[in-house]
Structure 1
Amino acid sequence: MKKLEVKVEFTVFDDVDELTQEDKELMFKAVETRKTAYAPYSKFRVGAALLLENNEIVLGSNQENASYPSGLCAERVAIYQAGAQYPSQKIKKIAISAASDQNITVTPIPPCGACRQAIAEYEVKQESEIEIFFMGETGKVVKSNSLKDLMPLLFDKSFLL
């Protein structure tokens, strides 16, 4: 038997004002885009803003459906949009902001498992890490240097060979 130890590291900012100007602007775009979410069932709105290597910003908000599994999270809306519009561009960063219509979210809310898998696919495909910034409606912002910090034992295409 052998023990496997996994070490991850995150940077936690007290609020958006501590971010660099570029990261702050990206997070503000995520916050604004969160307002376009279609979330009549969960009352939970998420906005995502991706910065591509060509400095284009691609936005996404969650889009729900009465058939719950048919909805799509903000992160995947933005990632798939970037893949369709800019297939040769690498994703440098993603900023995510989540808020509830029912209470104030002050805890940073990371991507769900399905979104983590989608981000992992693009990190592997582009062979470079994607910085991930996430927050609630207000308060602290968490930065991950790579999806591997959020999901260290990735499932990727190498398992399908």
Structure 2
Amino acid sequence: MQDHRGIEKLDWDELSPMEMELLISAEEALTKAYAPYSGFQVGAATRLIDGQVFTSNNQENVSFPVGVCAERSLLAYVGANFPETPPEALAIAAKRKGENESAYVTPCGLCRQAILETENRFKKAIKILILMPERKVVRISGVRELLPLSFNDLTD
């Protein structure tokens, strides 16, 4: 079902096999998150345009602002190691520690800006897949759908 411009709410069986694989990779990544303070584990997976898949997760720190979100750590890694290869999709999954059901999550403001920077870098939108409770998925055509009033003055 189309919700808003480039945002769709889908059932799991409406996804392509590649989308399912990427979300499963994000789910696996969240199990390795270091989240002793919040108990909120987030995993992210990205597929680069050449087909390579990479994952990351959130890493907390007792000094709260030092922690890193799954999305930003992943985009920093692929940007540093594959600077000529754009990401085509980014999947995000989250759970509260001790719970089996996926948690409702969207990228935070810092992550939205980091995703936008990656889109600007490659002049290409990144499809975002977010796993929701009950195996529902939100598919977003690009981060501008989540960040319409972005900090972008230096590039436009």
Tell me if TM exceeds 0.5. yes
In 2, Cα distance between equivalents of 1:123 and 1:160: 11
Structure 1, residues 83-135: CA drift from partner, whole Å, max 9, x if none? 11101111100000011015555554111111001000011111010000012
Match among 44, 51, 58 for residue 48 of structure 1: 44
Letter in 1 for 2:64: Y
User: 2:7 is matched with which residue?
Assistant: 10
Q: 1:29, 1:49 within 8 Å by CA — same for their partners in 2?
A: yes
Match of 2:57 in 1: 61
Provide the residue aligned with 1:4 in structure 2. none
Amino acid of the structure 2 residue aligned with 1:13:
L
Q: 1:91 to 1:122 in 2, by over 3 A?
A: same
TM superposition shift of 1:54: 1.2
Q: What is the one-letter code of the residue matched to 2:91?
A: A
Structure 1 residues 160 and 141, CA gap change in structure 2 (3 angstroms): closer
State which of 78, 96, 102 in structure 1 corresponds to 2:92.
96
Number of residue-to-residue matches in the alignment: 153
What is aligned with 1:3? none
**% identical aligned pairs:** 37
CA distance in 1, matches of 2:29, 2:102: 18
C-alpha RMSD over aligned residues: 1.8
In the alignment, what sits opposite 1:139? 135
The one-letter code sitting in structure 2 at the alignment partner of 1:109 is V
Match of 1:28 among 24, 44, 47: 24
Letter in 1 for 2:58: N
Greater than 6 Å deviation, 4+ residue runs: none
Structure 2 residues not aligned, in runs of 5+:
none
Secondary structure at the residue paired with 2:95?
strand
**Counterparts in 2 of 1:20 and 1:41: CA distance versus 1, 3 Å:** same
C-alpha distance in structure 2 between counterparts of 1:138 and 1:39, whole Å = 23
Asked if the contact 2:40/2:97 (under 8 Å) is kept, the reply is: yes
Q: Which amino acid aligns with 1:11?
A: E
Tell me, yes or no, if the aligned pair for 1:99 and 1:136 is still in contact at 8 Å. Answer: no
TM-score between both structures, scaled by the size of structure 1:
0.88
Larger radius of gyration: 1
Say if 2:154 is the partner of 1:159. Answer: yes
Report if aligned partners of 1:107, 1:139 keep a CA contact under 8 Å in 2: no
Task: Find the counterpart in structure 2 of residue 118 from structure 1.
Answer: 114
Q: 1:55 to 1:129 in 2, by over 3 A?
A: same
DSSP 3-state at the match of 1:54: coil
TM-score by length of 2: 0.90
